[in-house]
Structure 1
Amino acid sequence: MKIVVVGMGYVGLVAACCLARSGHQVIGVESAPEKLSKLRSGILPLYEEGLEEVYRKTVESQHLSFTDDLREAIEVADIIMIAVGTPSLPDGRVDLSQVYEVSGTICEAADHPFIVVMKSTVPPGTGKYLIERFFSKARVPISYVSNPEFLREGIAVWDWYHPDRIVVGCDDARTAEKVLELYSDIEAPKVTMDITSAEMVKYASNAFLATKISFINEIANLCELVGADIKAVAPAVGMDKRIGPHFLQAGLGYGGSCFPKDTKGLDFVSTFNGYSFNLLKAVIEVNAKQRILAVRKLHKLLGGLVGRRIAVLGLAFKPNTDDIREAPAIDIIRYLVDEGAEVAAADPLAIRNAASQLPPCVKLSPDPYEVLHGAQAVLLATEWPQFIVLDWGKVKGLMREPFVIVDGRNALDPEKLTELGFIYCGFGVLPKFRG
């Protein structure tokens, strides 16, 4: 099929490359000149494991091309997939301005029947609104489908071909079957439903996963008060098949482009519809608190933050991505600088993205040993494998007293670090101090 994918962000670019790899003729539409120029020049504007190989092969085979002219691309389209950004507004609402702009252009330029597939995450009810406001008024029949994505950044290409399920929301069975043909080479349960229910599946999934993270962080905080160890508690809880082990890792909480935006968005939708989603409000509050808790731990262990030198390991919101959106490290570094600390930070991929978001006084380097030199404390904010296996004996030789380690991901070995002479502090982990 001939597919137009609008928006070359994480979701759109992965979708475009993978659909092209499956043999479809794909045009990626990107309005940002710098990003479009990179894509046409053979340079990916973002990092995603395995994506560069797929991108190069599909471009070379001429199954994938890029343009900034949506109207021209529409002329040949069987399916138009919308994958533009839907960021949060300050009040928690989802900013749908890009969705509206693209939908308006599609309707104005439509000269033959086709299907619009919504990949962007939009609040429940958006599809019906778009049909009423835009697509029902087009000169030609336009079918609308909600097809939410469940890709995890860092392994999105793998997730595309190995999804837990493929969800299609549509009011017409034939249209749903046509969209499911896009995934004919993928073995996964394929679930069809109405449009609004499909939109809700995405929000409900992310809200539930965020709830698990905030719940285990609350349990970890309680462990510290009663003398339990979350590293023993969480795995045993996760052995219950009704609960499962995933998303039970205590620490700094969730970040990224999905969980923060979607929890706030669902909370706003609930309030707008006259319902107070108290559980979700608590999830959001707990997650914000974890970042402040990390700063408090450093303040207590260092006896204050003014003039203290602190190294932060990790800037991306999770390993294997350069994405810093809603990353805990970014907020924590800002807090530390505001409190008078001297901060240096390392990350193997995210430095370029973080540089414009952090105060200029923050020293950035891809080399963790460089930022650890002279530090009195270190915060592990992202559990990159290369940080976990650092030569901690060498690290101690580079640092200054009191040699504090705040393990924001509970990913390090407390006993080993304590034996080396560090003051180790995790989240819900039994404290271990130097003898």
Structure 2
Amino acid sequence: MSEQLKKEIRVAVLPFHIFSSEEELSPLILGFTDDLIANLSKFIGLSVISQLSSYKIKNSASDEITGMLGVDYLITGSFRKSVESVRINIQLNRMTDKSVIFTKQYNDSLDNILQTQDTIIVQIVSILQKQIDYDILSFSYQKKKVELAAYENWLLGMSYLKKGSLRYDLKARNCFEEALKIDPYFARAYSGLSLSYFNEWSCQLWDRWDVNKKGAHNYALKALEYDENDYISLTVLGRTYLYSEEFEKAEHYVRKSLRMNPNDADNLIQVAFTLMYLGFANESVKLYEKANELNPLHQDDYFGYGSNFYFETGQFEKSLHLGKTVSSRNTWVDFPVYMAGIYFHLGDYENMEVQWRLFLERFKSHINKDSAINEREALVWHKNINPYKKNTNLKEFWNYIEKKLVQFLFSNKAPKQKKKLQGLNKMEKCGNCRIRE
């Protein structure tokens, strides 16, 4: 098979036009398109552009704008609601010659909209199948029957999660719980609950660290009871096992998630983040670069992850370039430590010190709120909260800071501080985070 034929087909689904004045229809229709993207992304051989990028394209007729997505095929559509049915128009366009290779109209009731979606997916995949010479398989694509009301609650919950705030996380949970009242075996509702806790945990809300980690973990396990191939829950489990230092389980779950869906950009970032800690930094870089291709119009939080991945592969200049583009509001508490580590390896000690001081300020404001800044305590916290299985390029920087702290303490003959330094090695808690002895 030639390399050209092996290349994945890249597809984007633009937001469907909605010809309806009924507000209650909007969540279902918007969710329909999201679900279409998520399910198409599960097929091997198809790279589906993230909705975070495709939803920014408002004019499909603009070659310049659609060209930003770099796709081979573009899917567009519309919804129109009548008294008793919904009319769905869908069109598949080939971008190389701007030709329409598939168009069809579907008329169905809202009760049958999930079956209609399944039909659309199968027909589109069948057409794209002819463009490559190997099977477009899927490890996890399967449509299970679910009550429409439960599905609508799930869609609404997912729309709340995308807003990214505590208030909307709570609203999302209410929706997922309502879905489970209707259908107690609805795996995606449990997955949604897991995500609502995972969002808060991964955003490092330190006063709820343990609660959110436990919620993310337990609901992910519950989701997998009813759908063992739910790739989002697999990733969440991988991440929670990572922070529990159960490294073999962590790797097992994220790699299975990757097999279940190799084309969800946001999921690739989370998988890459876990693999970085497990010692697979080169693989993390490859997944990051693929995520960038699948979500070319992403937010700048991608750059923070990318900076870490390049740092661990020793590409310090590239790591610095990405790190400098990230807003401090969109990074985790100890991101400045990575920036300080970059400057250390590049020999720029002045900027290294600036970033280290920035971390100490953030440590005091987010972690150790009631005490004065203690550099040793901050360093110990940082080293223990990051669950590296193997060595990290931060190690030399850590040693440098530790040596500097020891020299300072002994040169200033501060017996009380020296005693506190020795005692820190026996601490069990620092803020809300476990410290290893």
Q: Going by fraction, where is helix more abundant, 1 or 2? A: 2
TM-score (ref. length: structure 1): 0.32
